[in-house]
Amino acid sequence: MVLRLYDTYTRTLRKFEPLRPPIVTLYTCGLTVYDYAHIGNLRTYLFEDILRRVLEYNGHEVEHVQNITDVGHLTSDADTGEDKMEKGSRRTGMTAWQIAEKYTQVFKEDLQQLNILEPTIWCKATDHIQEQIDLIRCIEANGYTYATDDGLYFDTSRLDNYGHLGRLDIEGLQAGARVDVADKRNPTDFVLWKLSPPDQQRQMEWDSPWGVGFPGWHIECSAMAHKYLGPLFDIHCGGEDHIPVHHTNEIAQTQACYGTNLANFWMHGYFLQLDDAKMAKSAGDFLRLQTLIDRGYDPLTYRFFNLNAHYRSKLNFTWEGMDGAQTSLNRLRKAYRQWEGSGEPDQSYIERFEDRINDDLNMPQAIALTWDLVKSDLSPGTKKATVDEFDRVLGLGLATWEPVVEEIPAEVLALVEARQKARSEKQWGEADSIRDQILAAGYEVQDTADGPQVKER
């Protein structure tokens, strides 16, 4: 089996081979926990879960690290604006630490509800301040930094290939730059250590060789990825917004200290859009998993909705799309439940499935194949055994799904009883009119050898 994955760094589809088999090292950028995850964030975690499952399906053992960004960062990528955690703190009346704890917990529950596998290692930025300071010192010792009044900055002009990941037009950016913010020498320079404002005590701040302050956003991932996975590991992932800034800067920092690109493959999930607009938390209003659940959707419907789009294409969220996903998923679950008997997986379907998932995680094609299988004339036992294999990657939990048993309302049961009585007294007109009342209430009765069976229409 050959697995091909799209690498943003080279902009090519490359054959994947682990650097240190049988282990595959994977780092996925975690949530900034100043608020709930929105369903756009969750799309990225679903893509990464599919990647993880495909790697495991291919026989690899995945060492998966995911960080939690619990240090406050500024609302703009340009190191300006308000601090997100402190802002959340003012909004909710909780401390920055309580906010981080609360939203981390809810985020983990969201992941669980979506059947997303837990990372092997979770790591919090605030637990790794020393590692971040050590990395900044290394970058400083190698001559890649300069100090300003508000912190220590990375001098991006010192790296020849800075911006390669995002194919940044460095000269164009230089020419178009406004008067510099915070004395930055180049528009792409970024803060490594930001000093706390002299007249203000922040909730989250630490002492450092450069003064009291807090780490820049990008340094945590370079430092923690290095600590747990080494200076060069297999795959680093995130959403497409991370290409031009966050991941570009992670590479720069790692280049400056270790001379490596940090990861062998850089993979990015495209955005979920709402009515074709970018769905950002900082924009205020947003949908979260609980919003979908409150509207009556099963969380796995959102997983299924995402499986129908390739991770490298934008996906527009609509309620009609969710309705369609709910209907299709239930159809698949019901088909699965009807398959009785045992069997072996069908090898021709398995091979086609592997071709599709190994073709840069082509899940829409894998789902299409699943429907072909459902409609095929293979035996129920073979279908079941084959879909069980598919579900290792799809993650829909088909084998454990149980239909929700709706309670029949008491009025309907009373009508059913009244109809039985009418029938036993041979009052056929009366029995028929009661049947109509039952139908009007949304139920139907079928007369079986075991007596009347009532179910929702």
Q: Which of residues 10-69 bind ligand AMP (CB under 6 A)?
A: 29, 31-32, 40-41, 43-44, 69
Map residue 391 onto helix, strand or coil. helix
The DSSP line for 189-209 is -EEEEEEPPTT---SS-B--T
Does residue 165 bind ligand AMP (CB under 6 A)? Answer: no
Please tell me the distance from the alpha carbon of residue 299 to that of residue 114, in angstroms, as a whole number: 6
Does residue 221 bind Zn ion (CB under 5 A)? Answer: yes
Q: Pick between residue 44 and residue 208 the one whose CB is nearest to ligand AMP.
A: 44
Of the ranges 27-35, 52-60, 290-298, 389-397, which one interacts with Zn ion (CB under 5 A)?
27-35
Please tell me the distance from the alpha carbon of residue 47 to that of residue 423, in angstroms, as a whole number: 57
Q: Pick between residue 30 and residue 395 the one whose CB is nearest to Zn ion.
A: 30
Please tell me the distance from the alpha carbon of residue 247 to that of residue 233, in angstroms, as a whole number: 14
CA dihedral 182, 81, 139, 28 (to 10 degrees): -160
Question: Tokens 């209907």 map to which residue?
Answer: 327
The residue type at 52? R
First to last CA, the chain: 47
Identify the bridge partners of residue 148 per DSSP, sorted by sequence position.
151
Closest CA to 188 of 222, 206, 204, 165: 165
Q: Pick between residue 69 and residue 254 the one whose CB is nearest to ligand AMP.
A: 69
Compute the least distance from the CB of residue 65 to ligand AMP, in Å. 14
Q: Pick between residue 239 and residue 395 the one whose CB is nearest to Zn ion.
A: 239
Q: Pick between residue 53 and residue 84 the one whose CB is nearest to ligand AMP.
A: 84
- Which partner, Zn ion, ligand AMP, none, binds residue 221 by CB below 5 to 8 Å per kind? Zn ion
Among 49, 189, 241, 391, binds ligand AMP (CB under 6 A): 241
Q: Pick between residue 221 and residue 300 the one whose CB is nearest to ligand AMP.
A: 221
Q: Which of residues 250-309 bind ligand AMP (CB under 6 A)?
A: 269, 271-272, 279
**How many of the chain's residues bind ligand AMP (CB under 6 A)?**
16
Please tell me the distance from the alpha carbon of residue 195 to that of residue 205, in angstroms, as a whole number: 9
- Which partner, ligand AMP, Zn ion, none, binds residue 443 by CB below 5 to 8 Å per kind? none
Identify the bridge partners of residue 151 per DSSP, sorted by sequence position.
148, 194
Which residues sit at the interface with ligand AMP, rule CB under 6 A? 29, 31-32, 40-41, 43-44, 69, 238-239, 241-242, 269, 271-272, 279
